[in-house]
Structure 1
């Protein structure tokens, strides 16, 4: 980037006119040519070359006497050319010049990639959520590099083939001895330890970068996405974990040391993932076990290597041909780096165990943007929205979405925060979206702002997975656009709906049409004027199947069709839930729909319905966690601002125990939900159904418990409309019935647990 350049330093000046003539003859680059030097670059000097609207980056060997085998810009060009051709993010290589007559040394030219380069690994000035996302994006890119095939790249003969670790220890010992001006015992001890403890599994041969750091990455200007990996001078083939260890070094540097003063430690920076988290992400991306017993060796090797590089930078400073203006500071880092390497080698700084449930870089980025949008736009609008529903409590207008929410939806869509629940649209995993759903659970209308409200999300998932092209065009596209709303009609007033096979609303084939006849209730969202279609569960009147789960179908019914009647709005603990479009009893009196409106096929209703229930249940659960977090915040605020019997409420032991128990329950349920989301991502809805059922029960119980004690701490105010607790309680208590009562889920869990126990027992015999 241009703001990271300086005038060309005296020791690195070359003939710009000769470069101009050379580039003009080969690339038709017009005069005049502007050249500035990048302030970075500890090894090969790097320059920004500009001609009119064209910008290039030039890398060359430094002048003067050089260590044998170092500063191979020809190798840099070769590997970038191979990677660029394979679609890996590197700057496009343009030309290589081996003729020293042009500018004094060999050099190569590549494209100038516009983006963000962070010279400080602590990423100052970046929000914590984005800082985390940038680190995750970096380690994902590293894993992608190590997954490339050398043969596909045409780099079968690039670098050495065997004993990579031995070669690395020998190379950097030699480089250090060739540039040192003093004998440091720590460097000698670390070199000897490394040679005596070479890992036995040194057999992997992949392309390694050799200097993979945040400083050598170009990120997208606004997104946590790597556009280009720079500085391939040290690239070779060998053990990929050496790259990972090198990337993680700054996590092990103690604060206040010469190393951190010069290079910066990231361990204390908010948002930077811990070393074990990055290791886990890397292993997941590469599909390898996340327990790496030899990681200590690679971390120690990385510190030895960086110490040798720092010694070389300082040696070039003494010779007067260093590339960086702060080269003098590197001399004081050599011994401390070696000491840290020795501590790791001897086990006093061993890497911690990896953690679970880590988001992708995109997931972290989106979560940070959602949190910011909630803070700036959604939460401040709560009072205005509440006032709208108070004003129109007895008016039909209460079913209409207030303009302030409509305006927020426009802003959210413009910000790209739209349809986040659908992986194929948002690019988020279920685990990613679980965190987003928790955030939106803090506000009753927040899911609507991001077009992530139930029951539309489940209906869109069904249409996305099972809908025909005609059905998608007619209903899915306007739902995804937010132009219409929908409802799901399953529960019936005349049967015990906890057993879904009891559904009796009939579906009768009549030529090229079906006739839908029956009554449904608890059709959530049906009161909204924009609700245009219902997905209705019907029993096939002509079904001959003996399988109770093959007798029903899902059918799309337009709500303006003849025979469809909104009978009445139902209440939940006396509230009509108008903000959600209410819950309606619906009558379908001999409603005629075309055969093409059946989803997936006749008799496959339960099969299609299961597609919406897995993710949808998890969305409910994480919103319940977010709701519980909000209730706990209100509880704690009340407990610290009210006094009874001479003490603050929280000073009464019973209240303090309530607070602790709420935190315990919230964290337990969050982990259970994230575990289910991860299972949904990795094993699919069917395999994850036990975890989903467990989570469904736990989340509803959590909300009821936290809301109950929050109301108790608020006293009479807690059951009034002065606080949102009563409304929150009614919604979360209803969750114990929605998508099936707790008892049905517990029976399912017990059945699946018994099956799993039988399998365990049989496998041991």
Structure 2
């Protein structure tokens, strides 16, 4: 809760702070008879007055009934306390409730106290001050939170008898009609007409029961200070058990229809607002229900009626002098316009949409749409919902577009030095991605994402081989940044990690050697000799890019325990790049791979990562997440290849019928889909194991996905090439380049055969353990 919005207590809400302090002393941490308790009032809120309490470095929030004569059944702070306590115990994001006091002698009314929740509260539904991409993600996050609330089992919460159950919609119409009439200051025909329509058009199924919030909107949510997630849902005064779609309808009108009431809010349709259709898809996917809501107009009309009745009540309290907000008198003017909008919704079968479609999907640059699609996945598990089906159409198009534009650049400069320069479109997109907060998503300590979270993002970026670079999530920089983050000294982090995180420099990883079988790392010959406070490095490495700094795996004298990792600036004297390497005869686009020679390269001992002899230990920590990222990118690549295959099979005709009508092609399509789904699920399982059990326990699963993903990607791309015929080998399609990437994946980070041997060894040990356990 934003303490900056708290002001001095308004005259009509003053109470005896000393009485409160004596009551809280010993019950709430930081409050004693000797401490100084400060009380300030939040300016927001139209119902129960809310106060910020601060004492001895601790902050709390107090909610109480307003003083004076109140409408019957309103301002039930005891219900707020009860439901928050149940939800907090269930792990749902609410501030922790601490105590409830029914004794009106303490401060004049009953009240309860809860923990102060830090974060962002947006009082303006347009969410000013955030990027369009984050604005979209915040609304999506709100929809997910609402779905999570409606998915909680009432018995688990211990709230089976909390409300009256079935018949909620009818009770809502009757309740708000009663509340409106009790506070009405004049006749408003639109309110009476809307009430009548609602009673005559109640949903046929009014027995769908869950815990409902009753006032679910953006300004009742506290978002994390920097992340796109809800840390607390506030204001449970109207909560009960009833039809969950009443909450959804109320939330949706804020996203789409409020600008009809206030012309000043028409700008809410600018970039960054998801359409109602998309939000419904997100909500329904998270709840596991069909996305079709035939009676949506009833719930939206009910929400407008409820808003109008609330506005009337706020205005009535202003007349009585006990309103919580200083602008309460203005609410009387909004009752009739709200009722008229509700009537307009009621009298037509509506499907709410923005007056403009989701702006992110209308950008002229399809690559900017790609940035949007990744942001949607940030911190969520949506990867096959209807929402993504809407976005994926644009994602595939933008991926192909991005690929073609970048590939055309490299083709144009194939024989010039410009082929080693990053194309302008990539640099432009980097600026936009970083401004949108889509930067270094792979690193949990920076992004807050788990490996399972990032796996979905890696799949999306894998759809285009150039995409990871846009978000500073490209190999080998990701692995090297992980090494420095986990094992680097403070000085190494300052000199190398921070510039890498900013995207100011690039790195490479030097392990493989041309003169030995590097699949057995103990064969490495690149040597490291200590000379006082310096090391001398001598040897040959290859498949290293010509970048600013390399993480070099070297071999001082003995086997596993003696390998070390050294940071070597590529402009050091003695570091020579002999010649660029090609993959299937083509340059690696962007930076290129080289044979590099280290001729008596002298570096300070301070560049040794984590100390001498820890190279293998560091490599295992680096390769787990890195292999996972490679595999999910391979899934994304395969999805694009299958998309292209299906498009080609549907368009081309041979021997009197479409290609997909030939049984062999149909079988390829089916087998490709099966392989992709199998690999995705296996990789997500490995990501979960990595998150929950760590690198060591997840080793077998990581090795399995490394084999499965490379084989799968090769198979799918090869089938797509076959369906495209000669075109599949040309630069007119990205398939040839995709195949070279997929085939090299079966060698990168160790060939399949090494992983298979490891898997077999681990499986035999696991079987032996199980056999012993059965004895």
Which of 474, 484, 491 is matched with 2:505 structurally?
484
Separation (CA, whole Å) in 2 of partners of 1:706 and 1:214: 49
How far did 1:457 drift? 0.6
Distance 1:266 1:366, change over 3 A: closer
Structure 2 unaligned residues grouped into runs of 5+: 1-8, 18-37, 52-61, 127-133, 175-208, 249-275, 290-302, 318-334, 343-375
Which of 677, 697, 722 is matched with 2:732 structurally?
722
Q: Counterparts in 2 of 1:18-57, with a 5 A limit?
A: 21-23=11-13
1:428 is the counterpart of 2:449: yes
CA contact (8 A) 1:59 1:108 kept: no
Q: Counterparts in 2 of 1:255-294, with a 5 A limit?
A: 269-272=280-283, 274=285
1:596 is the counterpart of 2:600: no
Separation (CA, whole Å) in 2 of partners of 1:394 and 1:227: 54
CA contact (8 A) 2:64 2:77 kept: no
1:73 is the counterpart of 2:77: yes
Structure 2 residue aligned with 1:474: 495
Structure 2 residue aligned with 1:297: none
Structure 2 residue aligned with 1:554: 565
How far did 1:732 drift? 0.6
Structure 2 residue aligned with 1:585: 595
For residues 693-742 of structure 1, what are the alpha-carbon distances to aligned partners after superposition, in whole Å with 9 as ceiling and x for unaligned? 11011110111101111011001111111111111101110111110000
Structure 1 residue aligned with 2:615: 605
Which of 200, 219, 230 is matched with 1:226 structurally?
230
Distance 1:731 1:268, change over 3 A: closer
For residues 535-570 of structure 1, what are the alpha-carbon distances to aligned partners after superposition, in whole Å with 9 as ceiling and x for unaligned? 1111113x4xxxx31121111111111110011111
CA contact (8 A) 2:166 2:242 kept: no
CA contact (8 A) 1:693 1:748 kept: yes
Structure 1 residue aligned with 2:460: 439
How far did 1:500 drift? 1.1
Structure 2 residue aligned with 1:402: 423
Distance 1:62 1:233, change over 3 A: farther
CA contact (8 A) 1:631 1:710 kept: yes
Distance 1:516 1:36, change over 3 A: closer
CA contact (8 A) 1:131 1:271 kept: no
CA contact (8 A) 1:216 1:231 kept: no
Structure 1 residue aligned with 2:477: 456
Structure 1 residue aligned with 2:131: none
Which of 378, 403, 414 is matched with 1:382 structurally?
403
Query: What is the number of equivalent residue pairs in this alignment?
Result: 580
Structure 1 unaligned residues grouped into runs of 5+: 1-18, 38-44, 50-55, 119-125, 147-161, 182-193, 195-208, 236-242, 254-264, 279-309, 330-358
1:565 is the counterpart of 2:576: yes
Which of 660, 671, 685 is matched with 1:675 structurally?
685
Structure 1 residue aligned with 2:216: 215
Distance 1:373 1:458, change over 3 A: farther
CA contact (8 A) 2:49 2:63 kept: yes
How far did 1:406 drift? 1.2
Q: Counterparts in 2 of 1:19-418, with a 5 A limit?
A: 21-23=11-13, 60=66, 66=72, 71-73=75-77, 76=80, 90=95, 113-115=121-123, 133-137=141-145, 169=161, 211-212=212-213, 215=216, 218-219=220-221, 224-226=228-230, 228-233=232-237, 269-272=280-283, 274=285, 362-363=379-380, 380-418=401-439
Distance 1:697 1:566, change over 3 A: same
Separation (CA, whole Å) in 2 of partners of 1:557 and 1:29: 58
How far did 1:229 drift? 2.4
Structure 2 residue aligned with 1:519: 540
Separation (CA, whole Å) in 2 of partners of 1:459 and 1:694: 23
Partner SS for 2:403: helix
1:574 is the counterpart of 2:564: no
Separation (CA, whole Å) in 1 of partners of 2:235 and 2:603: 64
Q: Which moved more, 1:465-474 or 1:21-30?
A: 21-30
Distance 1:228 1:399, change over 3 A: same
Partner SS for 2:706: helix
How far did 1:471 drift? 0.9
CA contact (8 A) 1:700 1:733 kept: yes
How far did 1:404 drift? 1.9
How far did 1:596 drift? 1.0
Which of 556, 570, 577 is matched with 1:540 structurally?
556
Structure 2 residue aligned with 1:494: 515
For residues 438-494 of structure 1, what are the alpha-carbon distances to aligned partners after superposition, in whole Å with 9 as ceiling and x for unaligned? 101111211011001111111111111101111111111111111110110101111
How far did 1:620 drift? 0.6
Distance 1:131 1:605, change over 3 A: same
Separation (CA, whole Å) in 2 of partners of 1:228 and 1:360: 21
Distance 1:22 1:77, change over 3 A: farther
Separation (CA, whole Å) in 1 of partners of 2:406 and 2:499: 25
For residues 229-277 of structure 1, what are the alpha-carbon distances to aligned partners after superposition, in whole Å with 9 as ceiling and x for unaligned? 2344489xxxxxxx9xx69955999xxxxxxxxxxx9999422265677
CA contact (8 A) 1:113 1:228 kept: no
How far did 1:72 drift? 3.3
CA contact (8 A) 2:212 2:243 kept: no
Structure 2 residue aligned with 1:620: 630
Separation (CA, whole Å) in 2 of partners of 1:174 and 1:432: 38
Structure 1 residue aligned with 2:668: 658
How far did 1:647 drift? 0.7
For residues 3-49 of structure 1, what are the alpha-carbon distances to aligned partners after superposition, in whole Å with 9 as ceiling and x for unaligned? xxxxxxxxxxxxxxxx975258999999xx99996xxxxxxx67999
Distance 1:138 1:506, change over 3 A: farther
Separation (CA, whole Å) in 1 of partners of 2:43 and 2:772: 76
Separation (CA, whole Å) in 2 of partners of 1:174 and 1:270: 25
Distance 1:461 1:214, change over 3 A: farther
Separation (CA, whole Å) in 1 of partners of 2:649 and 2:584: 26
Partner SS for 1:383: helix
CA contact (8 A) 1:467 1:600 kept: yes
Partner SS for 2:494: helix
> TM-score, length-normalised on structure 1?
0.64
Distance 1:228 1:617, change over 3 A: closer
Separation (CA, whole Å) in 2 of partners of 1:372 and 1:652: 26
CA contact (8 A) 2:211 2:244 kept: no
CA contact (8 A) 1:60 1:73 kept: no
Distance 1:465 1:588, change over 3 A: same
